[in-house]
Amino acid sequence: MDIKKTILQHKQLCSLVSERKIKQSLDILSDMITVTSSGDLRDEYENLVMTYRNMLSYTIEGINDPERNKVYLKLIQSILELSDQVRQDILSHNSGWNTYWVQQQTEKEQKLTGKTIIETVDDLMFKSELDEWLKLSSEINPDPESEMSKKHKQLIKNIFNHLWLTDYYGEAEDSLLNIILKSGKFRWFESSIFTTAITLSSFRVWQSEKLLHLINIYESGQEQIMERALSGLILNLHYYNGRVLLYPEITSMISKMSKAPGFREHCRIIVLQTIRSRETEKLSKKLHEEILPQVAKLKPQIEEKLDLDNILPKDKNEEKNPAWSEMFSDSEEIFKTMEELTKLQMEGADVYMSAFANLKHFDFFKDFQNWFVPFYPDHEVVDEIFRDEILGPGTNEMAEAMYKTPFICNSDKYSLILNLKYIPSTQKSMMLKVFRMELEGLQQLDDEDSGTDPNRKFRTNVTQYLQDIYRFFKLSPYKKEFEDIFTGRLDIYNSEFFRLTCNAPEAEAGLADYFFSKDFYEDALSLYLKQVKDKPDDTQLYEKIGYCFQENSDYESALKYYLRAELIERKAWTIKKIGLCLRRLGRNEEALEYYLQAGDMEPENIHTAIMTAHCYLDLKEYEQALKHYFMVEYKDPGNIKILRPIAYCFFALRRFDDSEKYYERLSAGKLNAHDLINMGHLALCKGKKKDAIDLYKQSIVNGEITKEKFMAVFSEDRTLLVSLGVNQDDLPILLDFLLFTIG
């Protein structure tokens, strides 16, 4: 059985239904049903087809049915619900997943009670254990080793599994959730994982009632629980974006709630933190592998040969407009100091993902629900440390500090605790000191922030919870059984949910600037372009749009918006960006004009001078190029890289001795393959063929370029060499000799 095909068909069907392509969706559903084991599903399918065909006939015949829209909506909902059931039937019988094994085991236990159909809460297999617990005092906190505690743990697990694995909630689940919320007998961390169970159940099988339960839990206002409920709601609304508008009971409820500023702010926090998860992998690479993604740029060959881009350190003012500096005060060279790293943590960046990725092998994480349990000081995992000779006396402080720290998610806190007993004694003592200091610092932080940020706790709880979920989808042994909601663009800002709750212009503008600050240029661009109509004279907006296009290598579009910005307000920065785009587009004469204008506005700016020199070099106006390169050499005398284009210009002007002097100075640093090739050219022009061969050979054997790359470079330089007096008939012979010496 091809499980991947079933999952793909289901997604295609849902997409077709959202586009109102009902016949195509029914065709896919028919194909899916052929591999199910249920005749009831086939019968239901036939009924849906008959209903739809009748509706089509009535419409074509011109029969006016005032109920048609309602029937049509109900039909669409029924097709989606039947497709969900068919998908579940196929997966449960053929996937071999843990999810369905647990579900089948639960069903077997349920059968033993004699009530296989669960209609009310009294039909649940764990009802007697639930009643027993509800009779106890609300203050009870049983010994972890006691029989009562073991039975209670099993009860919690049974409730979690029931809420997670029940496809469609009914009266029994309504009553159960009402007991959980209102009985006062379940502790906050237990209610938290029950909330997650609803979220996961909704990911498995859509049902509007599940989302209404999440809304109800959010509106209960219980700290640590409401954050999970709203996070689950938003993730589901994004995941099921194509279905949301089909369920008025959901959209009307969301619209009503969105009138409250507090709800809108809570949504904004969750949306931003969810989107921020996209940085996690990038952060991990930067912090632990020091690998930065490299984006190929379209550059003339001359740039590579002379390493033109790296002559001067990157000028921050030549990148993003310095006028936006306040917005980017925390994003330039963000990882260079611990202070900046702490700032990232405070913002909610997931800086510990890779550090804790290898600490998820403990048996603790084999228990499905433990991926979502909040950290709390009384957890039995913490109790194990009391028995440690070194850590034991400081366990309370350590657990309290770990519980309060906002920078580590719950899942990683458990990983840290579980790993403590395996570290050397000296490190254990150090850890105690660190946590004591952490506790003091957190207390001070609480005092400072008290009252200044009413959403601080909400933001912290959301951040930790979403990081817990992220780890589950990325690291858990059960991840293959779930579609990873953290892949792709996570463009929640394009979802119906965002339109219903956060679609104020200021929300989009703030989100666009966030994307821009984190180099998510494609996302920023889509939001900035929406603002153009309402801000036709906003120079910065045009600049940012141009910059987004530039970073995506769409220089034509970037040029268009830079020119618009320049019409409103002439700035040296914008003029240089226009020059850059023109140069990238091969319009070198026009590019030079703009760089010369920028040079008049910033006569002392060496970055402008060097770009002007590059333009002259592109145009083969070597004398003019030299003048500007000399200016850079004069103002930056310790810069050895500026010697490279100067030496090349002298060479192209037949001033071979001057060129040789500069190449000798350049040799004080590390020569690259193109330096060796150019020095070989110089030797060849001076009649030193053996020296030329040696230099060409070095450029290849050093491994920096291949023979094929060398031949391409040499072919490109052939015309220049002949113009400088090299006999073109000698060149094929020289190349063959070189290839023989290399072997």
Q: Which of 333-347, 551-565, 620-634 has the lowest mean pLDDT?
A: 333-347
Choosing from 61, 77, 94, the residue where a domain stops is: 94
Domain extent at residue 59: 3-94
Q: Dig out the tokens for 567 from the structure.
A: 């019409």
How many distinct structural domains can be found in the chain? Answer: 3
Whether the per-residue pLDDT at 289 is higher than 60: the answer is no
Q: Render pLDDT for 530-554 as a digit per residue (tens, 0 to 9).
A: 899 889 999 999 999 999 999 999 9
Please write down the long-range contacts of 680-686, taking CB distance under 8 Å and 24 or more positions apart. 681/651, 681/717, 681/720, 681/721, 682/651, 682/656, 684/721, 684/726, 684/734, 685/651, 685/654, 685/656, 685/721, 685/724, 685/725, 685/726, 686/656, 686/660
- Residue listed under structure tokens 């109900």: 74
- Same domain flag for 259 and 357: no
pLDDT at 154: 94
* Residues 125, 89 within the same domain: no
* The pLDDT value given to residue 345: 61
**Does a structural domain hold residue 739?**
no
Q: Which positions ≥6 away from 253 have C-beta within 8 Å?
A: 212, 215
Residue 492: the pLDDT is 84
Cβ neighbours, 10 Å, residue 620: 12
Burial per residue of 310-319, b for 16 or more beta-carbon CB atoms within 10 angstroms, e otherwise = ebbeeeebbe
Question: Looking at the predicted structure, is the pLDDT value of residue 482 above 80?
Answer: yes
User: Burial letters for 234-260: b for 16+ Cβ neighbours within 10 Å, e otherwise?
Assistant: bbbbbebbbbbebbeebbebbeebbee
Q: Which residue has the higher pLDDT, 486 or 323?
A: 486
Single out the residue of 167, 94, 103, 98 nearest to residue 367, CA to CA.
98
pLDDT of 306 over the 50 cut: yes
571: left (phi over 0), alpha (psi -120 to 50) or beta: beta
Q: Confidence class of residue 296 from pLDDT cuts 50, 70 and 90?
A: very low
Residue 122 lies in a domain: yes
pLDDT score, position 421: 79
Query: Taking Cα atoms as reference points, which of 223, 202, 205, 224 lies closest to residue 213?
Result: 202
Mean pLDDT of the chain: 86
Is the pLDDT at 433 greater than 80? The verdict is: no
- pTM of structure: 0.77
Kindly report, residue by residue over 336-351, the tens digit of the pLDDT: 434 455 566 666 777 7
Last residue of a domain, one of 32, 64, 94: 94
For 135-151, give the secondary structure using H, E and C: HCCCCCCCCCCCHHHHH
Contact residues for 692 (Cβ-Cβ < 8 A; gap 6+): 680, 681, 683, 684, 734
How distant, in Å, are the alpha carbons of 106, 177, 353, 357 from that of 415?
29, 30, 12, 9
d(CA 491, CA 530) in angstroms, rounded, equals 15
251-281, pLDDT tens digit by residue? 999 999 988 889 988 998 998 899 888 777 7
* Dihedral angle sign, alpha carbons of residues 382, 388, 393, 394: negative
344-348: Cβ within 8 A, 24+ apart: 344/283, 345/407, 347/276, 348/272, 348/273, 348/276, 348/459, 348/463
Which residues, 6 or more positions from 193, have their beta carbon under 8 angstroms from its beta carbon? 156, 160, 369, 372, 373, 374
Let me know whether 77 and 150 are in one domain.
Answer: no
Residue 213 sits in the same domain as residue 255: yes
Residue 492 domain flag? no
| Mean predicted confidence (pLDDT) in 394-412 | 85
pLDDT greater than 60 at residue 330: no
pLDDT at 373: 97
Confidence of residue 402 (pLDDT cuts 50, 70, 90): confident
In a domain, 238, yes or no: yes
Residue 390 has pLDDT above 80, yes or no: no
Residues 163 and 232 in one domain: yes
Are 46 and 64 in a shared domain? yes
User: Average pLDDT in the 299-311 region?
Assistant: 59
Lowest-pLDDT choice from 374-388, 401-415, 615-629: 374-388
| Residues 491-528: tens digit of each pLDDT | 888 888 888 886 666 778 888 888 898 888 998 998 99
Q: Is pLDDT at 663 greater than 50 in this prediction?
A: yes
**pLDDT of 446 over the 90 cut:** no
> Is residue 372's pLDDT more than 70?
yes
Per the CB < 8 A criterion, the answer to whether 172 and 121 are in contact is yes
Of the candidate ranges 120-134, 137-151, 187-201, 315-329, the one whose mean pLDDT is the lowest: 315-329
123 and 14 within one domain: no
Q: Determine the longest span between alpha carbons in the chain, in angstroms.
A: 103
Q: Where are the beta strands (DSSP E) in 272-431?
A: none
Confidence class for position 9, pLDDT limits 50, 70, 90? very high
3-state secondary structure 24-84: HHHHHHHHHHCCCCCHHHHHHHHHHHHHHHHHHHHHHCCCCCCCHHHHHHHHHHHHHHHHH
Q: Which of 214, 246, 279 is the last residue of a domain?
A: 279
Q: Which residue type sits at 567?
A: L
Question: pLDDT value at position 180?
Answer: 94
Statement to judge: residues 39 and 123 lie in one domain: no
In a domain, 697, yes or no: no
Three-state DSSP class for residue 336:
coil
Q: Is 167 exposed, middle or buried (0-12, 13-18, 19+ CB in 10 A)?
A: middle
Query: What is the token pair recorded at 483?
Result: 């579609």
pLDDT band, very low/low/confident/very high, at 712 (cuts 50, 70, 90): very high
Q: Which residue, chain included where needed, has tokens 């033993």?
A: 112
Asked if the structure places residue 659 within a domain, the reply is: no
Which of 97-101, 145-149, 699-703 reaches the highest mean pLDDT?
97-101
Q: Tokens 């004009």, residue?
A: 593
569-612 confidence digits (pLDDT tens)? 999 999 999 999 999 999 999 999 999 999 999 999 999 999 99
Query: Do 141 and 93 contact (CB within 8 A), yes or no?
Result: no
123 and 89: one domain?
A: no
Q: Which of 234-248, 365-379, 389-403, 630-644 comes out lowest in average pLDDT?
A: 389-403
- pLDDT at residue 303 greater than cutoff 50: yes
**Residue 732 covered by a domain:** no
Q: Specify whether 236 is located in the same domain as 132.
A: yes
Give burial (CB, 10 Å; 0-12/13-18/19+) of 286.
middle
Backbone φ and ψ for 605, nearest 5 degrees, come out as -85, 115
Q: How far apart are CA 709 and CA 712, in angstroms?
A: 5
Q: In the structure, what pLDDT confidence band is assigned to residue 127 with cuts at 50, 70 and 90?
A: very high
- Residue 300, pLDDT score: 45
Same domain, 255 and 361: no
E strand or H helix at 10: helix 3-18
Q: Judge whether 24 lies within some domain.
A: yes
Share of the chain above pLDDT 90, in %: 59
Domain shared by 232 and 149, yes or no: yes
